[in-house]
Structure 1
């Protein structure tokens, strides 16, 4: 599927993502995407990207950011840049869908991360769960450690805590649900 037609929808966060420029088109240097965030929509948790810079340009609506300790409300025409390794969170600050152009540099596996998160979100909604399965979350954090990390805990501590969970999940086949979600999110069957 051409990048311009790649749409990712996450029912948990209220995100609709349209990939405009995929990593493969830029030798991994960047990914450009449109984010449509429904009223009440928000990124699921505070996070940071260890080696990526994100630039958000609000096209329609209002987006509320928390960047480190700073709070920002961005409206049409406003641009917000989040440096690598900076803890941030964002949410729709209005009653209408917000439309934001996002640029992620370098791209790394951000498209696969977004698609996997959306597939896990669909599973979560279908199962009627308020929270994701902990094993799915552990595998997700491990698989996308280069793209995203928890805001407070040292990465080495997170990796050490996840290692036995990942090992047990593989050994007993508890990772099947996650693998199916990741494969479906990536468009693989």
Structure 2
């Protein structure tokens, strides 16, 4: 379980997250993370947070956001606020590390979601794009359905597919979250 002050590092991307406030410290109202993202050419998959606002405050470097199909370059001092259920992705397209504060309102289980992906990366259980196999994905995205969903295909189709795959994933020994 992630606690205030914990730092996790993604072995593949070098992304570092230090948790400043977790759901436990804020009674679930907020998650606040101090993040550093090295330069990268890999964009994350477009996704939505169906019940959360996601806010970024850039303190060093730049981040390139795609929000609802529109690109926006955020630089030092910029605050990007992404309302709930809006498709988005971001990455550091600059040469220097990007340093930013990322916040989620409400927190939900987003800290556990990040921990799950960083543990899977550390254990070499993600592909080159940072994605688990389809069976692990099914369990993880069903478990974190209130925190994150892929932007495409629509959620109803994802949910049906994931529910069909989940029993096989459990038989394979996969879990819905990792600590």
TM-score, structure 1 normalization:
0.85
Aligned residues: 177
C-alpha distance in 1 between matches for 2:24 and 2:87: 27
* CA spacing shift, 1:41–1:109, aligned 2, 3 Å: farther
Report what 1:148 is aligned to: 148
Report what 2:34 is aligned to: 34
The alpha-carbon deviation at position 129 of structure 1 amounts to: 4.2
C-alpha distance in 2 between matches for 1:2 and 1:12: 20
The alpha-carbon deviation at position 44 of structure 1 amounts to: 2.8
Report what 2:66 is aligned to: 66
Q: Report matched runs for 1:25-174 at 5 Å.
A: 25-40=25-40, 44-124=44-124, 129-130=127-128, 132-170=132-170, 172=171, 174=172
The alpha-carbon deviation at position 34 of structure 1 amounts to: 0.9
C-alpha distance in 2 between matches for 1:104 and 1:34: 12
Equivalent residues of 2:36, 2:97 under 8 A apart: yes
* CA spacing shift, 1:76–1:46, aligned 2, 3 Å: same
Deviations 1:144-179 (A, max 9, x none): 110000102222211111112111222x2x134x46
Unaligned ranges ≥5, structure 1: none
* CA spacing shift, 1:10–1:43, aligned 2, 3 Å: farther
C-alpha distance in 1 between matches for 2:41 and 2:14: 5
Equivalent residues of 1:49, 1:149 under 8 A apart: yes
* CA spacing shift, 1:11–1:40, aligned 2, 3 Å: same
SS of residue paired to 1:142: helix
Equivalent residues of 1:13, 1:43 under 8 A apart: no
C-alpha distance in 2 between matches for 1:57 and 1:64: 13
Unaligned ranges ≥5, structure 2: none
* CA spacing shift, 1:13–1:41, aligned 2, 3 Å: farther
C-alpha distance in 1 between matches for 2:168 and 2:20: 38
Considering fraction of residues, name the structure with more helix. Answer: 1
SS of residue paired to 2:66: strand
Equivalent residues of 2:126, 2:132 under 8 A apart: no
